Homo-oligomer: A and B are copies of this chain.
Amino acid sequence: MVRIAVFASGSGSNYEAIMQYFTKLTSPKAEIALLVCDQPGAGVLERAAKWHTPVLVVERRRFASKKQFEQYILAQLQQYQIDFIALAGYMRLLGPTLLDHYLGRVINLHPSLLPAFPGIDAVGQALKAGVRVTGVTVHFVDYGMDTGPIIVQKPVAVELDDTHNTLSSKIHVVEHELYPKIVYACALGRIYLDGTKVCWQNPDEAVKE
């Protein structure tokens, strides 16, 4: 079994979608072995309890430096024998301490069509720019902010009467449909990084169970 850690800071709706997807696999070759959360009160922790996922709650402010913070997380990931990391609303940049060990084995989900609208509040940025199409990006994580090689993107139409809430909801629907199967395919190495190039072992089969 490939062992995956999900990193989340918020309500955990993408973690939930991942759990539902993995639960339905008939002969899974990967599992969610750990949830890493940097916010003690985050909603994702209730969900993790419900799904019986082991949890690592780790606050940045408990550590003198980002390096020490990540060294602690890294030690725990190694303890849990984590092979692969799926960021799911984790509101921190991964630094070199973690990334040097997991480069090519960390993916992220971002609520825009990158390279448009990186960083925080991508939905608000899109609305402010007045775009009529935005979307969802899954990408390998590199040392930049939402800059890594793109794996897959899906468009979401922005209607004239969309608000931050309605557009966010539509984006969430696409995320929940898309991310779990990409997490699974990447964890299994069906989609992998060769340098900065995203490679698909078999594009037609990669996201099938």
Q: Which residues of B contact A133 (CB under 8 A)?
A: 113, 135, 153-155
Q: Which residues of B contact A152 (CB under 8 A)?
A: 132
Interface residues on A, range: 20 to 34
Known: A113-B113, A155-B155, A203-B160. A150 touches B131 (CB 8 A): yes
Enumerate A151-178 residues with CB–CB distance to B below 8 Å. Answer: 151-155, 160
Cβ of A152 to closest chain B Cβ, rounded Å: 5
Whole-angstrom distance between the alpha carbons of A160 and B60 in the complex? Answer: 39
List the 4 closest A-B pairs by CB distance, nearest first.
Answer: A155-B155, A132-B153, A133-B153, A116-B116
Using CB atoms and an 8 Å cutoff, list the residues of chain A in contact with chain B: 113-116, 129-133, 135, 137, 149-155, 160, 198, 200, 203
